[in-house]
């Protein structure tokens, strides 16, 4: 659940291990029962022995950057985590923002500093405590703990030679002046708070993990912040390797791809949050993780559709779709596109799709169309190449093939020559060979562009299928197909099907189709 106007709240149903004594709380924490699907209040009139005892934990953050951890009781009341319980469970929070209540602290430029008007106060306090050797004041157990932490830092390639010492602080508390130091060079030790954001976050995680042997709860906001890609992967690997539960937010495709076993939750352009089943989105998570970072994901069946839709959307917007958070994603085949669309639909999210009609799972596609409306276009003719080329007038097909000397024209004419059984690689020879075959030039181009192997001589089926790569079976090829569909007169027949899809995609992010589209 997310309250974007006032705060956000995350609730989790948790089973507590035997190593944690939850009743160290000042107030009694009562369990819920897990019925296999959700946490329910215990029923005194029924036997609950077969149900697991669970607890509901709630994490709340308000618009003042304050956070609160609570236990939700079955009667609806809440009690706060005690310090002892927090230590047992090992709650670790790594926020993305370092802001603090500056005006309530005696730091340069703060309201309190200006009000008191004594600029030498901090230096006088610091002078009195500067001579204290804190390292020597540690107990033997504390020195051993610090040495173990130093060794742990070394294993994770973090700064070494850690000790404790005094440094400047945002406040006047002597406790706040004590911090963890790390060795920058042979003669220099610096407080870890002065190191980079990524180093500070990794160090905080190690310190939090060192404080408990029980499984912990870790929240990390914008996990990629301050980390190079290799350190981000290392950070995620460390998190995955630890016991307990982790809640991570990210805007990084690297982070999404590096956590294949994670349970993904995706927020769309309207603020809806939905769960994405890994068995349906795992392939997309690995191959195109940026799908789940866009305002609106448009799932196009293959590379042809990606290039085709990107070109059409760019004309409709007057700029690249990505500039508005609209990402056209490769659905990697008809079957996987259907699974991905189903997952996004079940999550209740806003998305769109363009798919071929292969004549399979007709009921599933009809159900998706019923739910998505104009946000889903499935061609009636079959594939995109067939639908678009069919709309282009017959007398413009030579222009679709291309002019002699252009990049792909020679290959395309060769494919048509082979398929028609023509003597020469010319349009006149190809058209002559088609006489009496029941096919015209347009039908032959559709078959070559879609990689049809129907009618191929024995042993040539694979070669005929590969013909599509010289036509429109690429992102650049899809863009060429869209451009020629418009310039060669195919838009008149295509617009009735494509315009509702384009308008619906733009409307999902509060935009409208540009004037004079597609002649812009």
pLDDT number for residue 240: 86
Beta carbons within 10 angstroms of residue 424's beta carbon:
12
pLDDT number for residue 245: 79
pLDDT at residue 105 above 70? no
pLDDT at residue 378 above 80? yes
CA atoms of 91 and 14, how far apart (whole Å): 13
CA atoms of 336 and 234, how far apart (whole Å): 30
**pLDDT digits 0-9 by tens, 184-241:** 888 888 877 777 777 877 887 777 666 656 656 788 888 998 889 999 998 899 888 8
Give the mean pLDDT of the chain.
Answer: 83
pLDDT at residue 518 above 90? no
How big, in percent rounded to 5, are the helix, strand and coil portions of the chain? Answer: 45, 20, 40
pLDDT at residue 6 above 80? no
pLDDT at residue 426 above 70? yes
CA atoms of 468 and 474, how far apart (whole Å): 9
CA atoms of 327 and 344, how far apart (whole Å): 15
Q: What percent of the chain clears pLDDT 90, i.e. is strictly above it? A: 38
Site of tokens 């993990």: 209
pLDDT at residue 502 above 90? yes
pLDDT at residue 289 above 60? yes
**pLDDT digits 0-9 by tens, 7-31:** 778 888 888 877 778 877 778 888 9
Specify the DSSP element, H or E, that contains 94: strand 91-94
**pLDDT digits 0-9 by tens, 294-352:** 889 999 999 999 999 999 999 999 999 999 999 999 999 999 999 999 988 888 888 99
Q: Supply 353's token pair.
A: 């799709």
pLDDT at residue 244 above 80? no
Q: Between 128 and 41, where is the model more confident? A: 41
Q: Between 49 and 229, where is the model more confident? A: 229
Q: Per-residue pLDDT averaged across 123-148, rounded?
A: 79
Q: Per-residue pLDDT averaged across 103-117, rounded?
A: 52
pLDDT at residue 180 above 80? no
* Listed ranges 73-82, 268-277, 490-499; the one with the highest mean pLDDT: 490-499
Measured at the CA of 266, the angle between CA 262 and CA 268, to 5 degrees, comes to 170
Name the band, by pLDDT with cuts 50, 70 and 90, for residue 83.
Answer: confident
pLDDT at residue 98 above 60? no
Integer CA distances (angstroms), 508 to 153, 271, 296, 403, in order = 47, 12, 7, 40
Residue 471 three-state SS: coil
pTM of the full structure: 0.73
Kindly report each contact of residues 319-323 with a partner whose C-beta sits within 8 Å and lies 24 or more positions away, as own/partner.
322/294
Q: Between 463 and 90, where is the model more confident? A: 463
Name the band, by pLDDT with cuts 50, 70 and 90, for residue 1.
Answer: very low
pLDDT at residue 257 above 50? yes
pLDDT at residue 138 above 70? yes
Q: Whose CA is closest to 232, among 129, 94, 116?
A: 94
pLDDT number for residue 111: 43
pLDDT number for residue 168: 57
pLDDT number for residue 129: 67
Q: What percent of the chain clears pLDDT 70, i.e. is strictly above it? A: 85
pLDDT at residue 52 above 90? no
- Give phi and psi for 119, each to the nearest 5: -70, -15
pLDDT number for residue 491: 93
Angle between helices 384-391 and 491-507 (to 10 degrees): 130
pLDDT number for residue 336: 93
Name the band, by pLDDT with cuts 50, 70 and 90, for residue 50.
Answer: low
> Strands 32-34, 216-220: parallel, antiparallel or unpaired by DSSP?
unpaired
Name the band, by pLDDT with cuts 50, 70 and 90, for residue 367.
Answer: very high
pLDDT number for residue 7: 74
pLDDT number for residue 103: 41
pLDDT at residue 140 above 80? yes
Instruction: List the single range of 90-99, 384-393, 439-448 with lowest mean pLDDT.
Output: 90-99
pLDDT at residue 56 above 90? yes
pLDDT number for residue 97: 59
Q: Supply 171's token pair.
A: 């406040």
CA atoms of 363 and 78, how far apart (whole Å): 47
């Amino acid at each position: 659940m997310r309250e974007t106007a006032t705060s956000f709240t995350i609730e989790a149903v948790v089973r507590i291990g035997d190593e944690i004594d939850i009743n160290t709380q000042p107030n009694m924490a009562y369990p819920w029962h897990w019925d296999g699907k959700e946490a329910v209040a215990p029923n005194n009139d029924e036997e609950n022995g077969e149900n697991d005892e669970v607890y509901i934990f709630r994490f709340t953050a308000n618009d003042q950057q304050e956070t609160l951890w609570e236990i939700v009781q079955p009667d609806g009341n809440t009690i706060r985590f005690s310090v002892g319980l927090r230590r047992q469970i090992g709650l670790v929070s790594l926020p993305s923002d370092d802001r603090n209540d500056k005006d309530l602290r005696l730091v340069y430029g703060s309201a309190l500093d200006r009000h008191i008007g004594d600029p030498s106060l901090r230096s006088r306090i610091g002078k009195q405590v500067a001579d204290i050797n804190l390292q020597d004041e540690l107990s033997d157990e504390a020195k051993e703990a610090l040495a173990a932490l130093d060794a742990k830092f070394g294993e994770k390639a973090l700064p070494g030679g850690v000790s404790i010492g005094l440094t400047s602080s945002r406040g006047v508390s002597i406790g706040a002046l004590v911090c963890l130091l790390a060795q920058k060079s042979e003669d220099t030790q610096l407080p870890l708070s002065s190191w980079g954001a990524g180093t500070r976050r990794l160090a905080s995680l190690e310190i939090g993990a060192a404080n408990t042997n029980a499984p912990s709860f870790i929240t990390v906001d914008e996990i990629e912040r301050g980390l190079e890609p290799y350190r981000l992967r290392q950070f995620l690997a460390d998190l995955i390797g630890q016991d307990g539960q982790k809640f991570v937010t990210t805007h990084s495709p690297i982070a999404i791809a590096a956590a294949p076993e994670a349970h993904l939750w995706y927020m769309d352009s309207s603020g809806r949050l939905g769960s994405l089943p890994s068995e349906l989105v795992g392939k997309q998570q690995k191959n195109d993780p940026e799908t789940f970072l866009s305002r609106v994901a448009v799932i196009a069946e293959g590379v042809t559709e990606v290039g085709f839709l990107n070109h059409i959307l760019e004309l409709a917007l007057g700029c690249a779709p990505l500039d508005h958070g609209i990402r056209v994603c490769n659905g990697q085949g008809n079957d996987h596109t259907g699974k991905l669309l189903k997952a996004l639909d079940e999550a209740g999210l806003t998305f769109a799709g363009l798919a071929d009609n292969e004549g399979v799972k007709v009921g599933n596609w009809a159900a998706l169309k019923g739910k998505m409306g104009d946000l889903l276009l499935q061609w009636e003719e079959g594939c995109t190449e067939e639908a678009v080329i069919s709309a282009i007038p017959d007398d413009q097909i030579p222009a679709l093939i291309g002019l002699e000397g252009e990049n792909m024209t020679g290959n395309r004419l060769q494919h048509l020559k082979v398929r028609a059984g023509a003597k020469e690689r010319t349009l006149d020879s190809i058209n002559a060979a088609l006489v009496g075959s029941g096919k015209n030039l347009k039908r032959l181009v559709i078959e070559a562009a879609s990689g049809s192997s129907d009618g191929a001589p024995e042993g040539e089926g694979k070669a005929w299928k590969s013909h599509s790569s010289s036509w429109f079976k690429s992102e650049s090829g899809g863009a060429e197909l869209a451009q020629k569909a418009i310039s060669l007169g195919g838009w008149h027949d295509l617009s009735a099907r494509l315009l509702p899809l384009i308008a619906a995609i733009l409307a999902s992010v509060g935009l409208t189709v540009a004037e004079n589209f597609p002649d812009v």
